[in-house]
């Protein structure tokens, strides 16, 4: 009699026949009563039955890429599969930050001045759009890029308010996210607090001290959002993200209006860093382009004197002489030290990268690393990101069948994934993309959220089964009939009609060089678009775009649809590929990232 032992590896089921017995399942952590030997005395052979003992297969590698990046091509998925999860993630986390966005914005402005022969030429918001796109199409720090974007959705500013489309503001501010993506969260909080883009957006630049004779009081915007959105949230949390309850079973607020008022006093006296003494600009003076390049400067005579009563009984001392910078340092320390920050920020990052509904254990493991990275350091984002991506809950392939796991891919992320998966290229290596058509179709691109709350709320519950199950689905807040149709129309433009980028002139009468026009590289896919190899084509698209999650029914439907299209020449085969990409990226198995 023959029995089968099913050995479960990372995402792979291996059948082994042995003589006599019953059905057993071992592997995936189940090693009770199992001994594994090796001819290598230094090896740990039992690891062959543990998740850590296997290199990921291609689907698992694609899943890691989808969670940790804007998307990668087939060759990168191959590389991850051969290299292994931890080595690839560690390699990515060791990459230095790429070229400064502010520097590139300045270069575009100089280019316009030369082209127009006008040293006073205006700065255009196109400089920012092109800079963001150039970085993400040319740099290999895939994880840094995705984390920076996630941070920009947590620590929000928006060009829809108060910037006059100044590209310097966004270039310099986004540099903070790239710089601190693998840095320390406290340093990020400190830097955004002093950045004039945040000061302008949340109206605490030129924030005056109390003057009762003029009925003037400190602006409370930043004080409120620093706590509510950027650090601790509304209610006291346990390490696992669950709310602490009082004796009556009610959530415990983290702060009240008095705390907001006290924090608002801390953030008084911050002025434009390049001209803090120009009193005539105290309330709403104009900015130069470069004003956003310089951190705000404290003007102590305009800073609120006296003690400030902050969180958990901490009191900022009544300093004499007044020292506004020291007060701000105390306030940032006070917020950063709050026990909520680890579970609050940790959960937000998990939601942006991996799953909308992480388990309490997952949140607790990430929060614990935020609290202490193993070397006594609090707020180490590199360790936090590594933990999020390599946690068993993220890497377990069984999660692909769990309806409670995963997240809806953001529309903008889908668009960038398309461009990265199929190697959007220019012959010069210079990229232009105003992303205006993209924004029109999907209502999303960097720094265009409708408010400081971002494009969607982390606790959004769509009406229906998700709400009834007590789950959340943040990205569904921007799903409506317009955005659904807009995405499909946009997908048709980007891939089927071959209009992947909005390549606009940087100044009037500029001639855009042909070598700066973008195109997809589809030769590998075209080679397998014939009838006898269509299954290979769809398998490849399934892997690169949907982590191999297309069902057999979806796969058959796509193959049969593609067979209806002509196949007589290269143009026909290329059109088959483009239609195939469109169909895969329209499938629910792609739209929900598991």
Domain definitions of the chain by residue range = 1-54, 341-401, 410-433+482-593
pLDDT of residue 459: 97
Answer whether residue 27 shows pLDDT above 70. no
Residue whose tokens read 């990226």: 585
Angstrom distance (rounded) from CA 471 to CA 402 = 13
Q: Which helix (H) or strand (E) holds 167?
A: helix 167-180
pLDDT of residue 224 exceeding 50 = yes
**pLDDT tens for each residue of 458-516:** 999 999 999 999 999 999 999 999 999 999 999 999 999 999 999 999 999 999 999 99
How far is residue 88's CA from residue 72's CA, in Å, rounded to a whole number? 13
pLDDT score at 41: 63
Half-sphere exposure of 102 (CA within 13 A, CB side): 16
Structure confidence by residue, pLDDT tens digits, 301-327: 999 999 999 999 999 999 999 999 999
- What is the overall mean pLDDT for the chain? 91
Q: How confident is the model at residue 160 (pLDDT cuts 50, 70, 90)?
A: confident
Residue 278 is predicted with a pLDDT of 52
The predicted pLDDT at position 55 comes to: 60
| The pLDDT of residue 5 is above 60 | no
Contact yes or no for 238/213 (Cβ under 8 A): no
* The residue to which tokens 């909005």 are assigned: 502
Q: Mean pLDDT over residues 571-580, rounded? A: 98
With beta carbons less than 8 A apart as the criterion, state whether 349 and 388 touch: yes
**Does residue 30 surpass a pLDDT of 80?**
no
Residue 259, Cα to own-chain centre: how many angstroms?
A: 30
The arithmetic mean of pLDDT across residues 169-193, rounded, is 98
Can you tell me the mean pLDDT for 60-85?
97
pTM: 0.91
């Amino acid at each position: 009699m023959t029995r089968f032992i099913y050995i479960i590896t990372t995402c792979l089921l291996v059948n082994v026949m042995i003589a006599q017995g019953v059905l057993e399942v071992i592997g995936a952590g189940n090693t009770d009563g199992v001994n594994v030997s090796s001819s290598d005395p230094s090896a740990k052979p039992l690891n062959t039955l543990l998740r850590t003992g296997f290199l990921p297969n291609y689907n698992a590698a694609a899943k890691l890429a989808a969670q940790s990046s804007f998307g990668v091509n087939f060759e990168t998925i191959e590389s991850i599969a051969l290299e292994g999860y931890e080595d690839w993630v560690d390699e990515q986390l060791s990459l230095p930050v790429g070229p400064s966005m502010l520097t590139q914005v300045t270069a575009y402005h100089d280019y316009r001045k030369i082209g127009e022969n006008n040293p006073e030429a205006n700065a255009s918001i196109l400089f920012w759009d092109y800079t963001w796109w150039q970085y993400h199409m040319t740099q290999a720090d895939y994880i840094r890029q995705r984390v920076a974007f996630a941070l920009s959705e947590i620590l929000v500013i928006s060009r829809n308010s108060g910037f006059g489309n100044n590209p310097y503001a966004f270039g310099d501010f986004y540099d903070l996210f790239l710089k601190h993506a693998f840095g320390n969260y406290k340093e990020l909080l400190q830097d955004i607090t002093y950045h004039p883009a945040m000061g302008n957006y949340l109206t605490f630049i030129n924030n005056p001290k109390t003057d009762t004779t003029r009925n003037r009081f400190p602006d409370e915007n930043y004080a409120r959002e620093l706590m509510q959105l950027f650090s601790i949230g509304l209610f006291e949390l346990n390490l696992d993200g669950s709310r602490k309850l009082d004796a009556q079973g009610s959530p415990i607020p983290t702060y009240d209006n008095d705390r907001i008022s006290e924090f608002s006093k801390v953030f008084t006296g911050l002025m434009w860093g390049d001209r803090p003494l120009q009193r005539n600009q105290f309330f709403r003076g104009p900015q130069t382009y470069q004003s956003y390049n310089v951190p705000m400067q404290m003007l102590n005579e305009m800073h609120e004197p006296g003690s400030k009563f902050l969180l958990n009984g901490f009191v900022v001392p009544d300093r004499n002489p007044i020292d506004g910078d020291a007060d701000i340092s105390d306030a940032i320390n006070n917020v950063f030290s709050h026990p909520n920050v680890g579970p609050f920020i940790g959960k937000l990052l998990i939601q942006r990268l991996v799953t909308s509904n992480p388990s309490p254990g997952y949140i607790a493991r990430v929060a614990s690393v935020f609290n202490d990275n193993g070397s006594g350091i609090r707020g180490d984002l590199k360790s936090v990101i590594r933990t999020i991506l390599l946690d068993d809950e993220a890497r377990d392939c069984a999660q692909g069948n769990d309806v409670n796991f995963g997240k809806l891919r953001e529309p903008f992320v889908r668009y960038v994934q398309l461009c990265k998966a199929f190697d959007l290229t220019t012959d010069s290596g210079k990229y232009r993309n105003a992303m205006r058509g993209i924004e029109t179709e999907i209502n999303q691109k960097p720094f265009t959220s409708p408010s400081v709350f971002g494009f969607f709320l982390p606790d959004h519950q769509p009406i229906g089964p998700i709400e009834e199950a007590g789950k959340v689905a943040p990205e569904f807040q921007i799903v409506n009939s317009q955005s659904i149709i807009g995405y499909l129309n946009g997908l048709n433009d980007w891939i089927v009609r071959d209009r992947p980028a909005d390549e606009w002139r940087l100044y009037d009468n500029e001639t855009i060089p042909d070598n700066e026009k973008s195109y997809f590289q589809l030769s590998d896919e075209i080679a397998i678009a014939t009838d006898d190899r269509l299954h290979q084509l769809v398998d490849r698209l399934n892997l690169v775009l949907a982590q191999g999650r297309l069902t057999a029914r979806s796969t058959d439907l796509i193959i049969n649809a593609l067979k209806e299209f002509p196949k007589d020449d290269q143009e026909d085969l290329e059109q088959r590929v483009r239609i195939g990409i469109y169909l895969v990226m329209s499938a629910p198995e792609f739209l929900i990232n598991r």
